[in-house]
Structure 1
Amino acid sequence: MLNHHLVLERKETVAEGVVLLTLRDPEGRPLPEWEPGAHVDLVLREDLVRQYSLCGDPEDRSRLQLAVLREPESRGGSSHVHDVLAEGDSVHIRGPRNHFALERAKRYLFIAGGIGITPILPMLRAADASGADWQLVYGGRTRASMAFAEFLQQTYGKRVSIRPQDEYGLLDLPSLLGKPQRKTAVYCCGPEPLLAAVEAACEKWPSDALHVERFAPKERLAAGPRTTFEVELAQSGQTLKVSEDMSILEAVEGAGISVMTSCEEGICGTCETSVLSGQIDHRDSVLNDEERAAGDTMMICVSRAKSDRLVLDL
């Protein structure tokens, strides 16, 4: 995993409220391999870490590219990128990691909302190179706010449908998803209302057809009851008590054990930890149903225990 200082070579505006960052190694060394759907942690300060999808070309090991939307209610990350970060600055990166990998399929339907186009971009290149049949439906507030829209239409033509809301209204999901399609993988990234609507529209599709990535925790996911339980750390031999008002991550860090962490909201996958025994109360927005059912990994920043005790590989 890359844990390195890169240089911001270029910062350019690519749509209203969206800047594209191009990062390179200061010594010209090749950057790590990554696959479509991957993201990195951008460490802006020690107390300010944000996750952004890689939107460049995985074949180009000389640079990494991230597109960052200025969030109206920014908690500091996007405003720092837009207002403080300048070309020539040193930028600390962690990753890449990938919980939104592009699986092999005969046909793909890509649905992007706003800045959710970023992880989709390299997927389109890969799908096109594989010879698969594919379609992109890309929605946004206005055409001017939709990054890469012109590039996509020029590059891929009729495979791409650009649907700004002020011209077309909301995306017509019933016509796109109303009838399940065989051997078709659906990939969706964007704001939570879009993801929730796509999930609802795909209820009759095969369970493994839909793949989503969230920029915010899934609503009501962490609203279940909170109980006290024990966590045994297999590597260190410690047993910790996790109280109702404490996360497993807080308990582990309180015991002096360092764990890689980032969002602490269950959306980035940084704190994913192997579970050796016990029943998990999954409250993350990363794992799919199959991974949850396996019961061998969890995000310790938000997920809890259904059993009285968990044994973690820490």
Structure 2
Amino acid sequence: MSQGTQLRWQRATVLSHRAAAEEIAEIVLAGEAPLFTEPGAHIDVRVLPGRTDSESVRSYSVVEGAADGSWVKVGVRRSPTSRGGSRFMHALKPGDALEVTAPLQNFPLRVGAPRYVLLAGGVGITAIHAMARVLKRLGTDYQLIFVGRSRPAMAFLEELREEHGPRLRLSVDDEGDVLDVHELLADVDASTEFYMCGPIRLMDAVRRAWIERGLPLPNLRYETFGNSGWFDPEEFELRIRGSERNTVVSSEESILEALERVGVEPMYDCRKGECGLCVVKAQQLNGVIDHRDVFFDEEEKSSDTKLCVCVSRVASRSGAGAEACGADSSAHARPSLTLDFP
């Protein structure tokens, strides 16, 4: 089993904690060692004190940091299905101590393109915020699109408006201004670099439209939220072919976590549906797979024959994908899935 790159943990102290928007906290942390950061970076936080397993760790994008590394700012949305991470972070107070890593980079901004489009959905602005600031400082041609369900739910909105002025475009659901992805990409050419972070639905729509237009895939860059899918999370039965270690996956845990709980150790790395290391074959599906990854293309997702166990789930909704995996035809049975490990 891979648990990713070996991380060096350090003690950090909460300098400040305030509301950045509805259900989003702005938390400023100072580390024992300097926390040097760059646009697109994140820190890992141990949110279950006393535990050192992978389930105790959550990742949060760095909104900004001091040039001397003396502090970093993160934004954390309180999740209604929190497994402990956002509850822990929202309960912090100035002076509290916690364990963090130095900023890690999986979503770098490449400087030097002639034009940039930055797209943030909801709390995804935490990963995009610093990128926009750098592009402004460099005098680059850029546009920042911020999508949210309502203005009070959009973090750092006023400072973004002050800093980016006409380069900031808002798309606010409750004002009837729903983002038209095809219209957005109509102004994008092969030299434009596009960075996005937000819900899977939004990023899937952009990816499909990007491919339809035949734009260069290396110019589309993104970071994902593994907890955002097409269906609300619900519990489902999980079986392992040829094994008696079957279980029920709760609405508050991933398939990967459920497998680890019953002593099965699949390969994994990113835990965000990006790397594909945790892909497993799916069999005897009753329901539909809620693919929450950005690893598979649309054709692979529609077949429902394999999934990324770190983020994907099963929902109680019938579909063509269920038939492809030999689904149980019982419409009222609890959703279930059998995995076929090599």
TM-score when normalising by structure 1: 0.70
* Structure 2 CA distance for partners of 1:180 and 1:159, relative to 1, 3 Å: closer
Runs (4+) of structure 1 exceeding 6 A deviation are 217-220, 243-247, 280-284, 286-289, 299-302
User: Residue in 1 aligned with 2:47?
Assistant: 44
Instruction: Return the match for 2:96 from 89, 99, 123.
Output: 89
State the one-letter code of the partner of 1:66.
V
User: Residue in 2 aligned with 1:5?
Assistant: 11
Counterpart-to-counterpart distance in 2, 1:110 and 1:208:
15
* Structure 2 CA distance for partners of 1:272 and 1:122, relative to 1, 3 Å: farther
**SS of structure 1 residue aligned to 2:103:** strand
Instruction: Return the match for 1:15 from 18, 21, 27.
Output: 21
| RMSD of aligned Cα (Å) | 3.9
Question: Is the Cα–Cα contact under 8 Å of residues 141 and 165 in structure 1 kept in the other structure?
Answer: yes
Is there any run of 5+ residues in structure 1 with no aligned partner, and where?
A: 221-225, 229-242, 274-279, 290-298, 303-307, 309-314
TM alignment of 1:249-268, pairs within 5 A: 265-267=271-273
Question: Is the Cα–Cα contact under 8 Å of residues 124 and 197 in structure 2 kept in the other structure?
Answer: yes
* Structure 2 CA distance for partners of 1:255 and 1:208, relative to 1, 3 Å: closer
Instruction: Return the match for 1:206 from 205, 213, 216.
Output: 216
Question: Is the Cα–Cα contact under 8 Å of residues 44 and 100 in structure 2 kept in the other structure?
Answer: yes
**SS of structure 2 residue aligned to 1:166:** helix
Question: Is the Cα–Cα contact under 8 Å of residues 2 and 96 in structure 1 kept in the other structure?
Answer: no
**SS of structure 1 residue aligned to 2:218:** coil
TM alignment of 1:107-118, pairs within 5 A: 107-118=115-126
- Please tell me whether residue 193 in structure 1 is matched to residue 201 in structure 2: yes
Aligned length: 265
TM alignment of 1:135-214, pairs within 5 A: 135-203=143-211, 204=213, 205-214=215-224
User: Residue in 2 aligned with 1:30?
Assistant: 34
Task: After TM superposition, give the deviation of residue 110 of structure 1 in Å.
Answer: 0.5
* Structure 2 CA distance for partners of 1:133 and 1:180, relative to 1, 3 Å: closer
Instruction: Return the match for 2:61 from 43, 53, 59.
Output: 53
State the one-letter code of the partner of 1:172.
D
**SS of structure 1 residue aligned to 2:40:** coil
Counterpart-to-counterpart distance in 1, 2:219 and 2:138:
19
Task: After TM superposition, give the deviation of residue 288 of structure 1 in Å.
Answer: 10
**SS of structure 2 residue aligned to 1:128:** helix
Counterpart-to-counterpart distance in 2, 1:268 and 1:255:
21
Task: After TM superposition, give the deviation of residue 41 of structure 1 in Å.
Answer: 1.1
Task: After TM superposition, give the deviation of residue 159 of structure 1 in Å.
Answer: 0.6
User: Residue in 2 aligned with 1:223?
Assistant: none
Kindly, what percent of the aligned residue pairs are identical?
A: 33
Question: Is the Cα–Cα contact under 8 Å of residues 25 and 76 in structure 2 kept in the other structure?
Answer: yes
* Structure 2 CA distance for partners of 1:285 and 1:90, relative to 1, 3 Å: same
